[in-house]
Amino acid sequence: MANKEALRELQSRLAERLQAARTQQQGKSWLAVECSSRGFLFPLKEAGEIFAMAPVVPVPHSHIWFLGVANLRGHLHGVVDLAGFFGVKAVEPLREQSRLVAFNASLDLNCALLVDRLLGLRSEQQLTAQTDDTTGPKPPFVGARYKDQAGRVWQELNLAALANDEAFLRIVG
């Protein structure tokens, strides 16, 4: 019971900080999330509302990473398992901390990404850009890599580019 209250308080504080960070617009700011032990950064301008896990209705013949559709505040949203989409899904059940992060309404895509847990907000002052050590082309939605003071690596995801990615939009396999 105390864990649920603490989680609600964290979500409330995070929502307040998210709103404050959106209105301040000083430098880059991200929502930090974790999927299969990997850290991802969603630009605050592109991230939408955060929801607790809701019942999801499966869609026949869709990719395994497309979990189905969910009713989020009276609107149907497609639900994508982000780690599954990237092919890094560890076989583990949903955690109590799992959340759905919707795309910002300005992106005109009723979609929410399933993440294992929220890790708060990050600003460019808290992170150091890393050199790109990958070879070959990377998808347009994959942004810069960063490292925080604790040594954790973060991958920025451009949600606007993801919302227009052909492979992401092709849910039927």
**pLDDT mean for each 10 residues of the chain (173 residues):** 70 71 71 94 96 95 95 96 87 78 96 95 93 80 94 96 96 87
Distance CA 30, CA 51 (A): 17
pLDDT at position 93, please?
Answer: 62
pLDDT at position 88, please?
Answer: 83
Question: What tokens were used for 85?
Answer: 């989409």
Backbone angles phi, psi at 79, to 5 degrees: -115, 120
Report all structural domains of the chain as residue ranges with CATH numbers, in order of start: 2-169 (2.40.50.180)
pLDDT at position 11, please?
Answer: 75
pLDDT at position 92, please?
Answer: 62
pLDDT at position 113, please?
Answer: 97
Coil, strand or helix: which one is 37? coil
pLDDT at position 24, please?
Answer: 56
